[in-house]
Amino acid sequence: MTAIHVIGGGVAGLAGALALARAGRLVVLHEAAPMAGGRARALADGTDNGTHALVGANTAALRFLERIGARAHWVEPEPDGLPVLDCADGSARRIALSPLAWWRASRRPVGASFSALMAMARMASPWRDEPVAQAMAAHPDFYRGFVDPLVVATLNTPSTEASSARLGQVLRRLGGPGATRLYVAERGLGPDMVEPALDAFRAAGGEIRFNSRLRGIEVADNRVEALILDARIHADAVLLAVPPWEAARLLPGLPVPEAHAPIVNLHFAWEGPGPARFIGMLGALCQWVLVRPTGVSVTVSAGDAEAEQSVDELAPRAWAEILRAVAAFGIPGEWPIVPPRCRVVKEKRATPRHTPPVAPPRMPLRNLALAGDYTWPWLPATIDAAIRSGEAAAQALIGVPLGNTPIPLKRRWRIALPEPRGVPASNRAARQP
Protein backbone atom coordinates (compact mmCIF):
# COMPACT_ATOMS: atom_id res chain seq x y z
CA MET A 1 0.00 0.00 0.00
CA THR A 2 1.29 3.47 -0.88
CA ALA A 3 1.81 5.76 2.13
CA ILE A 4 0.37 9.22 2.67
CA HIS A 5 3.02 11.46 4.23
CA VAL A 6 1.91 13.91 6.92
CA ILE A 7 4.42 16.71 7.54
CA GLY A 8 4.16 18.25 11.00
CA GLY A 9 3.20 16.66 14.30
CA GLY A 10 1.33 19.60 15.78
CA VAL A 11 -2.34 19.43 16.66
CA ALA A 12 -3.45 19.82 13.02
CA GLY A 13 -1.03 17.16 11.81
CA LEU A 14 -2.02 14.73 14.56
CA ALA A 15 -5.72 15.19 13.79
CA GLY A 16 -5.19 14.71 10.07
CA ALA A 17 -2.87 11.73 10.49
CA LEU A 18 -5.29 9.97 12.82
CA ALA A 19 -8.24 10.57 10.49
CA LEU A 20 -6.29 9.11 7.56
CA ALA A 21 -5.05 6.10 9.54
CA ARG A 22 -8.53 5.29 10.83
CA ALA A 23 -9.83 5.54 7.26
CA GLY A 24 -7.56 2.61 6.42
CA ARG A 25 -4.71 4.55 4.81
CA LEU A 26 -1.04 3.81 5.39
CA VAL A 27 0.28 6.99 7.03
CA VAL A 28 3.80 8.18 7.89
CA LEU A 29 3.95 11.24 10.17
CA HIS A 30 7.14 13.34 9.99
CA GLU A 31 7.95 15.78 12.82
CA ALA A 32 11.04 18.01 12.69
CA ALA A 33 11.34 18.22 16.48
CA PRO A 34 12.07 15.32 18.83
CA MET A 35 8.52 15.50 20.20
CA ALA A 36 5.01 16.13 18.93
CA GLY A 37 2.56 18.93 19.75
CA GLY A 38 3.86 21.86 17.68
CA ARG A 39 3.27 25.37 19.03
CA ALA A 40 0.72 24.06 21.55
CA ARG A 41 3.00 21.30 22.80
CA ALA A 42 3.88 20.40 26.33
CA LEU A 43 7.54 21.07 27.03
CA ALA A 44 10.12 18.33 27.47
CA ASP A 45 9.58 18.20 31.23
CA GLY A 46 5.81 17.81 30.79
CA THR A 47 4.98 21.47 31.46
CA ASP A 48 2.34 22.98 29.19
CA ASN A 49 3.48 25.78 26.94
CA GLY A 50 0.53 27.93 27.96
CA THR A 51 -2.67 27.81 30.00
CA HIS A 52 -4.61 26.11 27.23
CA ALA A 53 -8.35 25.90 27.78
CA LEU A 54 -11.33 24.77 25.74
CA VAL A 55 -14.97 25.79 25.92
CA GLY A 56 -18.06 23.80 25.05
CA ALA A 57 -18.27 25.59 21.69
CA ASN A 58 -15.00 23.88 20.69
CA THR A 59 -16.95 20.87 19.49
CA ALA A 60 -14.30 19.55 17.11
CA ALA A 61 -11.65 19.56 19.84
CA LEU A 62 -13.96 17.86 22.34
CA ARG A 63 -14.91 15.19 19.78
CA PHE A 64 -11.23 14.63 19.06
CA LEU A 65 -10.57 14.11 22.78
CA GLU A 66 -13.38 11.54 22.86
CA ARG A 67 -11.91 9.69 19.89
CA ILE A 68 -8.47 9.42 21.46
CA GLY A 69 -9.84 8.43 24.87
CA ALA A 70 -8.71 11.59 26.68
CA ARG A 71 -11.97 13.46 27.29
CA ALA A 72 -12.27 12.35 30.93
CA HIS A 73 -9.05 14.20 31.79
CA TRP A 74 -10.42 17.60 30.74
CA VAL A 75 -12.10 19.02 33.82
CA GLU A 76 -14.30 22.03 34.48
CA PRO A 77 -12.38 24.10 37.04
CA GLU A 78 -14.91 26.92 37.57
CA PRO A 79 -18.47 25.62 37.06
CA ASP A 80 -19.94 28.50 39.08
CA GLY A 81 -18.46 31.25 36.94
CA LEU A 82 -14.98 32.54 36.20
CA PRO A 83 -13.23 34.19 39.19
CA VAL A 84 -11.98 37.59 38.07
CA LEU A 85 -9.80 39.94 40.12
CA ASP A 86 -9.60 43.59 39.07
CA CYS A 87 -6.20 44.80 40.24
CA ALA A 88 -7.20 48.42 39.68
CA ASP A 89 -9.68 48.52 42.56
CA GLY A 90 -9.19 45.11 44.22
CA SER A 91 -12.71 43.92 43.44
CA ALA A 92 -13.15 40.16 43.14
CA ARG A 93 -16.21 38.56 41.57
CA ARG A 94 -17.37 35.59 39.53
CA ILE A 95 -18.39 36.30 35.95
CA ALA A 96 -20.60 33.98 33.92
CA LEU A 97 -19.16 33.49 30.45
CA SER A 98 -22.60 33.08 28.93
CA PRO A 99 -24.79 36.21 28.51
CA LEU A 100 -27.78 33.94 29.18
CA ALA A 101 -26.67 33.80 32.82
CA TRP A 102 -26.31 37.56 33.22
CA TRP A 103 -29.82 37.92 34.58
CA ARG A 104 -28.07 37.43 37.92
CA ALA A 105 -26.39 40.71 38.77
CA SER A 106 -23.71 38.88 40.77
CA ARG A 107 -22.57 37.02 37.62
CA ARG A 108 -22.81 39.99 35.25
CA PRO A 109 -19.74 41.91 33.98
CA VAL A 110 -19.50 45.55 34.94
CA GLY A 111 -21.12 47.79 32.34
CA ALA A 112 -23.27 45.06 30.76
CA SER A 113 -26.07 47.44 29.81
CA PHE A 114 -28.61 46.77 27.07
CA SER A 115 -26.82 49.14 24.68
CA ALA A 116 -23.45 47.49 25.43
CA LEU A 117 -24.93 44.06 24.70
CA MET A 118 -26.37 45.36 21.44
CA ALA A 119 -22.95 46.70 20.45
CA MET A 120 -21.45 43.27 21.13
CA ALA A 121 -24.27 41.58 19.23
CA ARG A 122 -23.58 43.80 16.19
CA MET A 123 -20.05 42.39 16.11
CA ALA A 124 -21.56 38.93 15.69
CA SER A 125 -22.94 40.07 12.34
CA PRO A 126 -20.89 38.81 9.39
CA TRP A 127 -21.60 41.97 7.35
CA ARG A 128 -19.38 44.50 9.10
CA ASP A 129 -15.77 44.71 10.21
CA GLU A 130 -13.85 47.26 12.24
CA PRO A 131 -11.34 47.17 15.09
CA VAL A 132 -13.01 45.79 18.22
CA ALA A 133 -11.90 48.76 20.34
CA GLN A 134 -13.63 51.10 17.89
CA ALA A 135 -16.81 49.01 17.87
CA MET A 136 -17.02 49.15 21.68
CA ALA A 137 -15.74 52.69 22.20
CA ALA A 138 -19.08 53.90 23.63
CA HIS A 139 -19.03 51.23 26.36
CA PRO A 140 -15.64 51.50 28.11
CA ASP A 141 -16.54 49.59 31.29
CA PHE A 142 -18.02 46.59 29.49
CA TYR A 143 -15.17 46.69 26.96
CA ARG A 144 -12.52 46.64 29.69
CA GLY A 145 -14.18 44.05 31.90
CA PHE A 146 -15.40 41.54 29.32
CA VAL A 147 -14.86 42.25 25.63
CA ASP A 148 -11.16 43.13 25.70
CA PRO A 149 -10.18 40.04 27.77
CA LEU A 150 -12.28 37.91 25.41
CA VAL A 151 -10.52 39.39 22.39
CA VAL A 152 -7.05 38.88 23.82
CA ALA A 153 -7.86 35.31 24.90
CA THR A 154 -9.45 34.18 21.63
CA LEU A 155 -7.69 36.31 19.01
CA ASN A 156 -4.29 36.94 20.64
CA THR A 157 -4.38 40.39 19.08
CA PRO A 158 -4.76 43.81 20.75
CA SER A 159 -8.34 45.05 20.53
CA THR A 160 -7.15 48.24 18.85
CA GLU A 161 -6.30 46.19 15.74
CA ALA A 162 -8.30 42.97 16.17
CA SER A 163 -11.03 42.40 13.58
CA SER A 164 -14.58 42.57 14.92
CA ALA A 165 -15.54 40.10 12.18
CA ARG A 166 -13.03 37.59 13.55
CA LEU A 167 -14.45 38.09 17.05
CA GLY A 168 -17.91 37.63 15.56
CA GLN A 169 -16.87 34.13 14.49
CA VAL A 170 -16.41 33.37 18.19
CA LEU A 171 -19.54 35.14 19.40
CA ARG A 172 -21.81 33.29 16.98
CA ARG A 173 -20.72 29.98 18.51
CA LEU A 174 -21.29 30.92 22.14
CA GLY A 175 -25.08 30.86 22.20
CA GLY A 176 -25.74 27.12 22.28
CA PRO A 177 -26.30 24.97 25.39
CA GLY A 178 -23.04 24.43 27.25
CA ALA A 179 -21.09 26.49 24.70
CA THR A 180 -19.36 28.62 27.35
CA ARG A 181 -18.44 25.85 29.77
CA LEU A 182 -14.70 26.07 30.43
CA TYR A 183 -12.40 23.02 30.42
CA VAL A 184 -8.71 22.58 31.17
CA ALA A 185 -6.41 19.58 30.93
CA GLU A 186 -6.19 17.99 34.35
CA ARG A 187 -2.53 17.01 33.95
CA GLY A 188 -1.44 19.07 30.94
CA LEU A 189 -1.56 19.03 27.17
CA GLY A 190 1.18 16.42 26.97
CA PRO A 191 -0.52 13.62 28.88
CA ASP A 192 -4.09 14.74 28.13
CA MET A 193 -3.97 15.44 24.38
CA VAL A 194 -0.66 14.90 22.59
CA GLU A 195 0.32 11.52 24.04
CA PRO A 196 -3.18 9.98 23.70
CA ALA A 197 -3.31 11.21 20.09
CA LEU A 198 0.05 9.58 19.36
CA ASP A 199 -1.09 6.36 21.03
CA ALA A 200 -4.31 6.34 18.99
CA PHE A 201 -2.37 7.00 15.78
CA ARG A 202 0.04 4.13 16.47
CA ALA A 203 -2.86 1.83 17.36
CA ALA A 204 -4.42 2.64 13.97
CA GLY A 205 -1.23 1.49 12.24
CA GLY A 206 0.48 4.87 11.74
CA GLU A 207 4.24 5.35 11.73
CA ILE A 208 5.94 8.36 13.39
CA ARG A 209 9.37 9.68 12.47
CA PHE A 210 10.77 12.36 14.79
CA ASN A 211 13.71 14.63 13.87
CA SER A 212 12.52 14.33 10.27
CA ARG A 213 12.51 17.79 8.73
CA LEU A 214 11.17 18.55 5.27
CA ARG A 215 13.80 20.51 3.34
CA GLY A 216 12.03 20.80 0.02
CA ILE A 217 9.32 19.56 -2.31
CA GLU A 218 9.65 18.44 -5.89
CA VAL A 219 6.63 19.41 -7.98
CA ALA A 220 5.58 18.39 -11.49
CA ASP A 221 2.31 19.06 -13.32
CA ASN A 222 0.82 20.71 -10.24
CA ARG A 223 1.51 17.60 -8.13
CA VAL A 224 4.02 16.67 -5.46
CA GLU A 225 6.47 14.27 -7.02
CA ALA A 226 8.92 13.83 -4.12
CA LEU A 227 9.74 15.06 -0.63
CA ILE A 228 13.31 16.00 0.30
CA LEU A 229 13.87 14.81 3.87
CA ASP A 230 17.02 12.96 4.96
CA ALA A 231 16.58 11.32 1.57
CA ARG A 232 14.42 11.87 -1.46
CA ILE A 233 11.05 10.10 -0.98
CA HIS A 234 8.53 9.60 -3.76
CA ALA A 235 5.15 10.88 -2.54
CA ASP A 236 1.74 10.23 -4.03
CA ALA A 237 -0.13 12.27 -1.40
CA VAL A 238 0.98 14.76 1.25
CA LEU A 239 -0.73 16.48 4.16
CA LEU A 240 1.33 19.59 4.98
CA ALA A 241 0.66 20.77 8.55
CA VAL A 242 3.45 23.23 9.27
CA PRO A 243 3.45 26.86 10.50
CA PRO A 244 2.65 29.48 7.85
CA TRP A 245 6.24 30.67 7.48
CA GLU A 246 7.36 27.09 6.78
CA ALA A 247 4.52 26.56 4.29
CA ALA A 248 5.59 29.74 2.47
CA ARG A 249 9.20 28.53 2.39
CA LEU A 250 8.22 25.19 0.92
CA LEU A 251 5.58 26.55 -1.48
CA PRO A 252 6.71 30.02 -2.66
CA GLY A 253 3.82 32.27 -3.55
CA LEU A 254 1.40 30.56 -1.17
CA PRO A 255 -0.77 33.23 0.52
CA VAL A 256 -0.20 32.98 4.28
CA PRO A 257 -0.50 35.38 7.22
CA GLU A 258 2.69 37.41 7.59
CA ALA A 259 2.05 39.30 10.82
CA HIS A 260 2.08 37.29 14.04
CA ALA A 261 1.48 37.97 17.73
CA PRO A 262 3.37 36.56 20.70
CA ILE A 263 2.23 34.68 23.78
CA VAL A 264 4.35 34.72 26.93
CA ASN A 265 3.91 31.97 29.51
CA LEU A 266 5.31 31.84 33.03
CA HIS A 267 5.49 28.53 34.87
CA PHE A 268 6.10 28.62 38.64
CA ALA A 269 7.34 25.56 40.52
CA TRP A 270 4.66 25.15 43.21
CA GLU A 271 2.81 22.25 44.80
CA GLY A 272 -0.63 22.42 46.33
CA PRO A 273 -3.61 20.33 47.34
CA GLY A 274 -5.73 20.92 44.22
CA PRO A 275 -8.09 20.76 42.47
CA ALA A 276 -7.29 22.72 39.31
CA ARG A 277 -8.42 26.37 39.40
CA PHE A 278 -8.59 29.01 36.68
CA ILE A 279 -8.57 32.76 37.40
CA GLY A 280 -8.88 35.83 35.19
CA MET A 281 -7.26 39.15 36.03
CA LEU A 282 -7.87 42.72 34.87
CA GLY A 283 -5.34 45.54 34.94
CA ALA A 284 -2.50 43.08 35.51
CA LEU A 285 0.43 41.43 33.79
CA CYS A 286 -1.27 38.09 34.44
CA GLN A 287 -4.32 37.64 32.24
CA TRP A 288 -5.09 34.01 33.06
CA VAL A 289 -3.76 31.99 35.96
CA LEU A 290 -4.05 28.21 35.98
CA VAL A 291 -3.39 26.61 39.38
CA ARG A 292 -2.73 22.87 39.33
CA PRO A 293 -1.39 20.68 42.14
CA THR A 294 1.85 20.47 40.13
CA GLY A 295 2.42 24.15 39.42
CA VAL A 296 1.05 27.58 38.56
CA SER A 297 1.01 28.81 34.97
CA VAL A 298 0.35 32.32 33.69
CA THR A 299 -0.56 33.36 30.17
CA VAL A 300 0.09 36.80 28.71
CA SER A 301 -1.53 36.91 25.26
CA ALA A 302 -0.77 39.61 22.68
CA GLY A 303 2.30 40.27 24.82
CA ASP A 304 4.36 42.37 22.44
CA ALA A 305 6.13 44.28 25.22
CA GLU A 306 6.39 41.31 27.59
CA ALA A 307 8.07 39.20 24.90
CA GLU A 308 11.06 41.54 25.17
CA GLN A 309 11.35 41.33 28.98
CA SER A 310 13.44 38.93 31.06
CA VAL A 311 12.32 36.41 33.67
CA ASP A 312 13.79 38.68 36.36
CA GLU A 313 11.43 41.45 35.26
CA LEU A 314 8.34 39.31 34.73
CA ALA A 315 8.38 36.75 37.57
CA PRO A 316 8.23 39.13 40.61
CA ARG A 317 5.37 41.13 39.05
CA ALA A 318 3.41 38.02 38.16
CA TRP A 319 3.90 36.32 41.53
CA ALA A 320 2.76 39.43 43.44
CA GLU A 321 -0.44 39.43 41.35
CA ILE A 322 -0.94 35.70 41.89
CA LEU A 323 -0.72 36.21 45.66
CA ARG A 324 -3.48 38.83 45.45
CA ALA A 325 -5.66 36.52 43.38
CA VAL A 326 -5.32 33.41 45.54
CA ALA A 327 -6.03 35.50 48.65
CA ALA A 328 -9.10 37.05 47.04
CA PHE A 329 -10.59 33.67 46.12
CA GLY A 330 -9.35 31.60 49.04
CA ILE A 331 -7.30 29.11 47.04
CA PRO A 332 -5.65 26.70 49.51
CA GLY A 333 -1.96 25.93 49.75
CA GLU A 334 1.25 27.43 51.04
CA TRP A 335 1.99 30.58 49.09
CA PRO A 336 5.49 31.97 49.77
CA ILE A 337 6.11 35.69 49.52
CA VAL A 338 9.30 35.14 47.53
CA PRO A 339 8.56 33.91 44.01
CA PRO A 340 9.43 30.24 43.51
CA ARG A 341 11.52 29.07 40.60
CA CYS A 342 10.01 30.38 37.38
CA ARG A 343 10.40 29.36 33.77
CA VAL A 344 9.39 31.78 31.02
CA VAL A 345 8.47 30.49 27.56
CA LYS A 346 8.00 32.99 24.74
CA GLU A 347 6.33 32.05 21.48
CA LYS A 348 6.94 35.19 19.42
CA ARG A 349 4.86 33.86 16.51
CA ALA A 350 2.22 32.04 18.50
CA THR A 351 -0.69 32.93 16.21
CA PRO A 352 -1.41 35.21 13.26
CA ARG A 353 -2.60 38.68 14.20
CA HIS A 354 -6.35 38.45 13.74
CA THR A 355 -7.05 41.17 11.30
CA PRO A 356 -9.17 40.07 8.28
CA PRO A 357 -8.07 36.51 7.42
CA VAL A 358 -5.62 35.38 4.76
CA ALA A 359 -6.55 31.79 3.95
CA PRO A 360 -4.59 29.65 1.48
CA PRO A 361 -6.40 27.04 -0.62
CA ARG A 362 -6.97 23.69 1.05
CA MET A 363 -5.28 21.92 -1.89
CA PRO A 364 -2.67 24.16 -3.53
CA LEU A 365 -1.42 21.09 -5.43
CA ARG A 366 -3.50 18.20 -6.74
CA ASN A 367 -2.10 15.73 -4.19
CA LEU A 368 -1.13 18.07 -1.34
CA ALA A 369 -3.57 19.31 1.29
CA LEU A 370 -2.78 22.07 3.77
CA ALA A 371 -3.67 21.95 7.46
CA GLY A 372 -3.05 24.34 10.32
CA ASP A 373 -5.10 26.78 12.36
CA TYR A 374 -4.31 29.59 9.89
CA THR A 375 -5.92 27.60 7.03
CA TRP A 376 -9.36 27.54 8.70
CA PRO A 377 -10.84 30.99 7.98
CA TRP A 378 -14.09 30.37 9.89
CA LEU A 379 -12.42 30.47 13.31
CA PRO A 380 -9.45 32.22 14.94
CA ALA A 381 -6.19 30.29 15.27
CA THR A 382 -7.12 27.90 18.08
CA ILE A 383 -6.82 24.21 18.94
CA ASP A 384 -10.34 23.75 17.60
CA ALA A 385 -9.44 25.37 14.27
CA ALA A 386 -6.28 23.26 14.02
CA ILE A 387 -8.22 20.03 14.51
CA ARG A 388 -10.92 21.05 12.03
CA SER A 389 -8.27 21.91 9.45
CA GLY A 390 -6.41 18.63 9.92
CA GLU A 391 -9.57 16.57 9.52
CA ALA A 392 -10.65 18.60 6.47
CA ALA A 393 -7.23 18.09 4.87
CA ALA A 394 -7.45 14.35 5.52
CA GLN A 395 -10.89 14.22 3.94
CA ALA A 396 -9.59 16.07 0.89
CA LEU A 397 -6.78 13.52 0.48
CA ILE A 398 -8.95 10.44 0.90
CA GLY A 399 -10.23 10.97 -2.64
CA VAL A 400 -6.72 11.41 -4.14
CA PRO A 401 -5.71 8.34 -6.21
CA LEU A 402 -2.43 6.77 -5.09
CA GLY A 403 0.21 4.90 -7.03
CA ASN A 404 0.25 7.20 -10.07
CA THR A 405 2.76 6.74 -12.87
CA PRO A 406 5.85 8.92 -12.26
CA ILE A 407 5.97 12.08 -14.36
CA PRO A 408 8.86 12.36 -16.88
CA LEU A 409 11.98 13.91 -15.40
CA LYS A 410 12.08 16.80 -17.89
CA ARG A 411 8.80 18.14 -16.45
CA ARG A 412 9.94 18.14 -12.84
CA TRP A 413 10.90 21.18 -10.86
CA ARG A 414 11.93 21.56 -7.23
CA ILE A 415 10.65 23.88 -4.53
CA ALA A 416 13.29 24.21 -1.84
CA LEU A 417 14.36 27.51 -0.28
CA PRO A 418 16.81 28.26 2.52
CA GLU A 419 15.33 28.40 5.98
CA PRO A 420 14.38 32.04 6.68
CA ARG A 421 15.94 33.98 9.52
CA GLY A 422 13.93 34.32 12.69
CA VAL A 423 12.64 30.75 12.79
CA PRO A 424 11.72 29.85 16.40
CA ALA A 425 14.48 28.14 18.39
CA SER A 426 12.40 24.98 18.75
CA ASN A 427 12.43 24.61 14.95
CA ARG A 428 16.10 25.51 14.58
CA ALA A 429 17.13 22.93 17.15
CA ALA A 430 15.48 20.19 15.13
CA ARG A 431 17.15 21.15 11.86
CA GLN A 432 19.44 18.50 10.42
CA PRO A 433 22.86 19.51 9.03
List, in order of start, the domains of the chain with CATH numbers.
3-52+189-258+357-429 (3.50.50.60), 99-176 (no CATH), 260-352 (no CATH)
- What local confidence, expressed as pLDDT, does residue 129 receive? 92
Q: Which residue has the higher pLDDT, 52 or 22?
A: 22
3-class secondary structure for the chain? Answer: CCEEEEECCEHHHHHHHHHHHHCCCEEEEEECCCCCEHHHCECCCCCECCCCEEECCCHHHHHHHHHCCCHHHEECCCCCCEEEEECCCCCEEEECCCHHHCCCHHHCCCCCCHHHHHHHHHHCCCCCCCEHHHHCCCCHHHHHHHHHHHHHHHHCCCCCCCEHHHHHHHHCCCCCCCCCCEEEECCCHHHHHHHHHHHHHHHCCCEEEECCCCCEEEEECCEEEEEECCCEEECCCEEECCCHHHHHHHCCCCCCCCCEEEEEEEEECCCCCCCCEEEEEECCCCCEEEEECCEEEEEEECCCCHHHCCHHHHHHHHHHHHHHHHHHCCCCCCCCCCCCCEEEEEEEEEEECCCCCCCCCCCCECCEEECCHHHCCCCCCCHHHHHHHHHHHHHHHHCCCCCCCCCCHHHEEEECCCCCCCCCHHHHHCCCC
For residues 256-274, average pLDDT: 93
In this prediction the pTM is 0.89
Contact 8, 38 (CB under 8 A): yes
- What local confidence, expressed as pLDDT, does residue 52 receive? 82
Report pLDDT digits (tens) over 340-370. Answer: 999 998 889 999 998 877 789 999 999 999 9
Report pLDDT digits (tens) over 35-72. Answer: 998 877 766 665 666 678 999 999 999 999 999 999 99
Average predicted confidence (pLDDT) for the chain = 89
Q: Which of 131-135, 174-178, 292-296 has the lowest mean pLDDT?
A: 174-178
For residues 416-431, average pLDDT: 35
Work out the percent of the chain whose per-residue pLDDT is above 90: 77
